[in-house]
Amino acid sequence: MPAGGVTYLPIPRGSGAILPGLISVDLPLGIRKGETFDIVVRQVTGSGRQAATVRIGAIRSWRRVLGSFQIKISVTTKDLMLAPEERSLSVMRRIQEAIPAGSRWFAVTQRHVNQIAARVGAFGGNRT
């Protein structure tokens, strides 16, 4: 989904408390070494309380943050990124082998490994 400002991803009620997920970020063209990008992720829920809004006469639900985390992406060169990405690919391939095909994490891990492999290939490394 395109991001900018605030983007909401609704999670259906009753879907369970533990959902596997993967965040992938495509940076814009023309970025330069030294630039940084900050991503803030918050899990927001309705608190169950409602309040009457006098000004417009409507009832609105209050929301609260259940948890959050931040991702900072620092732009660097492919020469500096290749070795760590190759190590990550090796480790993630090993982890992937241990995840049963029926696990809810299987597809997420497979996609993650494929993304790391694509980065390694783009940096000029061996993606196999």
> pLDDT tens for residues 73-98?
999 999 999 999 999 999 999 999 99
Say whether pLDDT at 54 is over 70.
Answer: no
> Given this model, what pLDDT does residue 60 score?
59
Cβ within 8 Å of residue 16, ≥6 positions away = none
Mean pLDDT of 4-31: 77
> What is the rounded distance in angstroms from the CA atom of residue 7 to the CA atom of residue 25?
14
For 70, list phi and psi in degrees, rounded to 5.
Answer: -125, 140
Alpha helices in the chain (DSSP H): 78-98, 106-122
> Given this model, what pLDDT does residue 5 score?
75
For residue 85, which of 108, 61, 63, 118 has the smallest C-alpha distance?
118
Neighbouring C-alpha atoms within 13 Å toward the C-beta of 58: 4
Say whether pLDDT at 44 is over 90.
Answer: no
For 106, list phi and psi in degrees, rounded to 5.
Answer: -60, -55
> What is the rounded distance in angstroms from the CA atom of residue 106 to the CA atom of residue 117?
16
Considering only residues 17 and 27, tell me which one the structure prediction assigns the higher pLDDT.
27
> Given this model, what pLDDT does residue 94 score?
96
